[in-house]
A and B are shown apart, each in its own frame.
Chain A
């Protein structure tokens, strides 16, 4: 009888552990950004992204400062693409997509991926870039950046 109770208790405990770990796994969200150039892609997690941050983005009031990754460095670091080969960049946020091309690409070095609690937001690092890109950018920022696609001249 003791054995039966022990086996049953063990079974129930095992099921509970497996179910809870499965549920926890579904809700576990980690900061990940995909960089894609043609058929190739690079996936970065939080630990890989943090060391790339070379800039500091101050909030408009200046009370909060967040590390930020320069967008031009982000798209060229591992892809080894020369800047003059890049003809378009699509930044895909959870709710918004931004397409940069032509003269707007000159402002890439003045754009940054700012770290939030567990997300990245695309922000202009200078007033000049903000003013220049306002027509294509619109008001809301590109939040929760999940993917950056790069189009290059060779691909075209």
Chain B
């Protein structure tokens, strides 16, 4: 009888562990971490999808590691079909909001979205970063710090979109 009880308890532990850990892990993998929105259209990306878009690397601040980096224009234009000349403003919503417009838009090809290694099983959030000093000096007025972290949404305002 004691054996049966132990077996039951073991089964309970296994089922509980599975029911809590599996959906959590699964949800983390498929949950969108970034939304790109333009007009009425929204495109969402999971962490893995974003990693697949990364074609470059960005060194960390100490220069000891390299992080996967997506050219910012890839995020803006690849799936949306938008061209740069149609963009009026880009809102980056993360820990802080950033607005790129006017002359800033000429530097879109020198910005990247970079991520770090997973922490405690959770994917690292994405940060906007300039790839060179000149770009940093231009966008510094909006970005403040060198990297803008925790970005979860990008809104693109197109020219002539206002009714």
The answer to whether A149 touches B163, judged by C-beta atoms less than 8 angstroms apart, is: no
Chain A residues near B42 (CB-CB < 8 A): 95
Secondary structure dominating the interface of B: mixed
On whether A137 and B96 interact (CB within 8 A), knowing A3-B1, A7-B5, A14-B12, the answer reads no
The answer to whether A15 touches B4, judged by C-beta atoms less than 8 angstroms apart, is: no
Chain B residues near A147 (CB-CB < 8 A): 93
Question: What interface size band does chain A fall in?
Answer: 20 to 34
A20 to B19, CA, bound (A): 11
Distance from A7 Cβ to chain B, minimum over Cβ atoms (Å): 5
A90 to B90, CA, bound (A): 12
Within 8 A of B (CB), among A120-156: 135-139, 147, 149, 155-156
**Inter-chain contact total with CB atoms closer than 8 Å:** 58
A92 to B11, CA, bound (A): 47
A18 sits at the interface (CB 8 A) = yes
B99 sits at the interface (CB 8 A) = yes
Within 8 A of B (CB), among A18-74: 18-19, 22, 36, 38-39
Closest to B161 in A: A138
A7 to B7, CA, bound (A): 11
A21 to B37, CA, bound (A): 32
Closest to B157 in A: A97
Chain A residues near B19 (CB-CB < 8 A): 15, 18-19
On whether A136 and B91 interact (CB within 8 A), knowing A3-B1, A4-B4, the answer reads no
Distance from A16 Cβ to chain B, minimum over Cβ atoms (Å): 10
Distance from B28 Cβ to chain A, minimum over Cβ atoms (Å): 13
Distance from A105 Cβ to chain B, minimum over Cβ atoms (Å): 15
What are 23 pairs between A and B in contact, CB < 8 Å? A4-B1, A4-B4, A8-B8, A11-B8, A11-B11, A11-B12, A15-B16, A18-B20, A22-B20, A39-B96, A90-B91, A90-B97, A90-B99, A92-B97, A95-B37, A96-B155, A97-B157, A99-B99, A136-B162, A138-B162, A139-B163, A155-B144, A156-B141
Interface residues of A (CB under 8 A from B): 3-4, 7-8, 11, 14-15, 18-19, 22, 36, 38-39, 90, 92, 95-97, 99, 135-139, 147, 149, 155-156
